[in-house]
Amino acid sequence: MSDFYALLIGINYYKQPNNGYNHLQGAVQDIDSVGNYLHETLKIPAKNITRLTSPLPDTNSLAEIRAARNEQPPTYENIVHAFKDLTKQAKTGDQVYIHYSGHGGRAKTIYPELREIRGNYDEGIVPMDVGVKGRYLRDLEIATLLKNMTDKGLIVTLVFDSCHSGGATRGEDVAIRGNSNSDDSDRPTDSLVADKETLIENWKILTDNGENKSALLHNENHVYLAACLPNQFAYEYGVEGKGRRGALTYWMLDTLDGSYSKLTYKALYNRAKSMIQSRFLDQLPMLTGNSDRLVFGDKTVATPTMIGVEKVSEDKTEVTLNAGASSGLREETRLAIYPFETEDFNDKKQVLAIVEIDEIQSDKSIARILSEDDGGITVKDTDKLKSGHAVILSLPTTLIHTVRLWDKKIEGNAKDQLPAELVNKQGEALEKIRQALADNAWLQEVQGEERGDYQVAIDAEGKYEICIGKPLTNLGTPLNINDADAPAQVVKRLVHLAKYQSALSIDNPASEIINDIEYELLDAKTKKPFPNPNKIELKSGDRLYVRVNNTSNQPLNIALLDFEATWEISQLPIEGNFSPFFSLQPGQNTETRIRFEVPQRKDYQEITETLKLFATRGAANFQWLKLPPLDQPFEPKGRYRGGGDSPLTRLISSIGADLDNPPQLTRASYDPDPNAEWLTMSITLTVTK
- pLDDT tens digits for range 633-674: 655 444 333 344 555 666 676 676 666 666 655 544 444 444
Distance CA 551, CA 5 (A): 31
Tell me which of 652 and 378 has the higher pLDDT: 378
- Domain formed by 4-288, architecture: 3-Layer(aba) Sandwich (3.40)
Q: How many CB atoms lie within 10 A of CB 40?
A: 9
- What does the pLDDT read at residue 304? 59
pLDDT at 624 over 80: no
- What does the pLDDT read at residue 29? 92
pLDDT at 600 over 80: no
Residue 188 forms beta bridges with which residues? none
Over residues 329-377, the pLDDT tens digits come to 667 778 889 887 776 666 778 899 999 888 877 668 899 999 888 778 8
What band does 165 get if pLDDT is binned at 50, 70 and 90?
very low
Range among 13-17, 115-119, 269-273, 413-417 with highest mean pLDDT value:
13-17
DSSP code at position 634: P
The closest of 221, 88, 67, 230 to 160, measured between CA atoms, is 230
Residue 491, class by beta-carbon neighbours within 10 Å (0-12 exposed, 13-18 middle, 19+ buried)? buried
The closest of 25, 139, 44 to 97, measured between CA atoms, is 44
pLDDT at 576 over 80: no
DSSP code at position 73: P
Over residues 68-82, the pLDDT tens digits come to 777 899 999 999 999
DSSP code at position 133: T
The closest of 505, 503, 497 to 630, measured between CA atoms, is 497
The topology (CATH level 3) of 307-394 is Thrombin, subunit H (2.40.10)
The closest of 549, 536, 525 to 609, measured between CA atoms, is 536
Mean per-residue pLDDT for 405-414? 90
- What does the pLDDT read at residue 409? 92
Over residues 451-465, the pLDDT tens digits come to 788 999 999 999 999
Cβ proximity of 405 and 434 under 8 Å: yes
Q: How many CB atoms lie within 10 A of CB 24?
A: 26
Cβ proximity of 394 and 670 under 8 Å: yes
pLDDT at 172 over 70: no
Over residues 512-537, the pLDDT tens digits come to 787 889 999 999 888 899 887 778 88
Q: How many CB atoms lie within 10 A of CB 55?
A: 23
The closest of 620, 609, 683, 617 to 656, measured between CA atoms, is 620
Of the chain, the percentage scoring pLDDT greater than 70 comes to 81
- What does the pLDDT read at residue 464? 95
- What does the pLDDT read at residue 384? 83
Over residues 467-519, the pLDDT tens digits come to 987 888 888 889 999 999 999 999 999 989 988 888 887 776 557 787 889 99
How far, in whole angstroms, is CA 554 from its chain's centroid?
Answer: 19
- Its sign, for the CA torsion 255, 260, 262, 267, is negative
pLDDT at 62 over 80: no
How far, in whole angstroms, is CA 270 from its chain's centroid?
Answer: 13
Residue 217, C-beta contacts closer than 8 angstroms, at least 6 positions apart: 224, 226, 286, 288
Pairing of strands 582-584, 536-539: unpaired
